[in-house]
Amino acid sequence: MPTTVAPADPVPVLRGLSSMATRLVLAELVQAWREAGGCPVQIESIGGVDAAKRVAAGEVLDLVILAADAIDRLLADGHLLRGTRVDLVRSAVGVAVPAGAPAPDIGSAAALRAAVLAAGRIGTSTGPSGQALAQMFERWGIADQVRQRLVVPPPGVPVGTLLARGDIDLGFQQLSELIHVEGIRLLGTLPPDSAIVTVFAGAVARTSQHPAAARAVLNFMASPSATAAKRRQGMEPA
């Protein structure tokens, strides 16, 4: 990480809002920003759908970090400042089962499809990964077969929590939300022929009173020196 941040006029704490998928990597990057001399930053991580609603409602914020398509919608509607979008990370969807459970083969699309059909209860999220999985099940022609077995946790509750409790038998979520969960067996990411990768981006909120400082934080988070932190949290730089 850079050792210093360019001096700026003193600002109060910058407030940010993000989806849960980027919670851990943002915490690490905010700490690095502060250690480099940057202003205080507090980022609240919640379900992406609820985060977008709060931004659209005009909540006073400085930074917004969500899936790129959500950022684009908020930009188009004027809730974020045009020209401030910065792509931060690429996040792949992972697959897991409860700890101690047999590990199904997920090495190809055909194997993954078979694993889904064989699973009792299947956990997916309310975020972009869950939407993409639903579309994939439709393409595979199995949506009707698995619909009654799908378990979607409330926004902000990780799929890994359901796995660890034994509430589901097979779980799909952003890898970053699974890699540190105890009580589960991580099988890896989706195979290349059915991979789902979400780009998470940041932008400055229209309500920000310190847009220059907010842009500086985003630029820091997008810098090459942030790559190691992103990979530690199961992500790749965008």
121, with CB counted inside 10 A (0-12, 13-18, 19+), is middle
Q: Is residue 9 very low, low, confident or very high in pLDDT (cuts 50, 70, 90)?
A: low
Tens of pLDDT, residues 21-72? 899 999 999 999 999 999 999 999 998 889 999 999 999 999 999 999 999 9
Tens of pLDDT, residues 66-120? 999 999 999 999 999 999 999 999 999 999 999 999 999 999 999 999 999 999 9
Q: What gap in Å lies between CA 122 and CA 51, rounded to an integer? A: 25
pTM of the model: 0.86
Q: State residue 47's pLDDT score.
A: 85
Q: Which of 66, 68, 29 has the alpha carbon at shortest distance from 48?
A: 66
Q: Which of 174, 146, 147 has the alpha carbon at shortest distance from 160?
A: 174
Whether the pLDDT of residue 219 is over 90: the answer is yes
Look-up of token digits 């899936």: 67
Tens of pLDDT, residues 129-158? 888 999 999 999 999 999 999 999 887 788
